[in-house]
Structure 1
């Protein structure tokens, strides 16, 4: 169970450049314009990240949580944001098979 007073380290310090469950919430929030693309969420509390997750989930709902159903502008933004994130993550040794979020 996560401690409520724990804070997120931010995308730049996150394991594998943010290709973690918390990082993908943040990337998705950037895609949907819920937070600025420059926002790394460094120092955010667990409850604040959870609130962002709720917003992201609502934003995905009309598209069935599928990138292929996004309108062109959002799909292009998704490809750009995730393309850069995946490139950074691979440089840090990330593999799509990893699923661990020790940063929060």
Structure 2
């Protein structure tokens, strides 16, 4: 089966948006690269890849650690990610997909 060439949007993504692309989008919101109401629905994969590079450049400034973020960004990160974790849990996500191979 061929992969779609357009992203479904974080609100329509599997696992309540707890996917690799969902994390890119949440981090892009944290860093102010896109507005928090931008779901990236309909974006071409190349646009997501470009966003990934921008997100990675921002994380590189802080050693890729949340604890190194300035207070305002750390607070925004916590708010956004906690909100989406709760949404994902309400949609049936448990996190087991991400940790299932750690046994």
> TM-score scaled to structure 1, two decimals?
0.88
Q: CA RMSD in A?
A: 1.4
TM-score w.r.t. structure 2 length? 0.88
Taking the aligned partners of 1:96 and 1:17, their CA distance within structure 2 comes to 11
Count of matched residue pairs: 97
- Determine which structure has more spread, i.e. the larger CA radius of gyration: 2
CA distance in structure 1 between the partners assigned to 2:5 and 2:94 by the alignment: 26
Runs of 5+ unmatched residues, structure 1: 100-104
Higher relative contact order (CA 8 A, sep 6+): 1
Q: Which aligned segments of 4 or more residues in structure 1 are displaced greater than 4 angstroms? A: none
Q: Unpaired runs of 5+ in structure 2?
A: 99-103
Structure-1 separation of matches of 2:55 and 2:94:
24
1:102 corresponding residue in structure 2: none
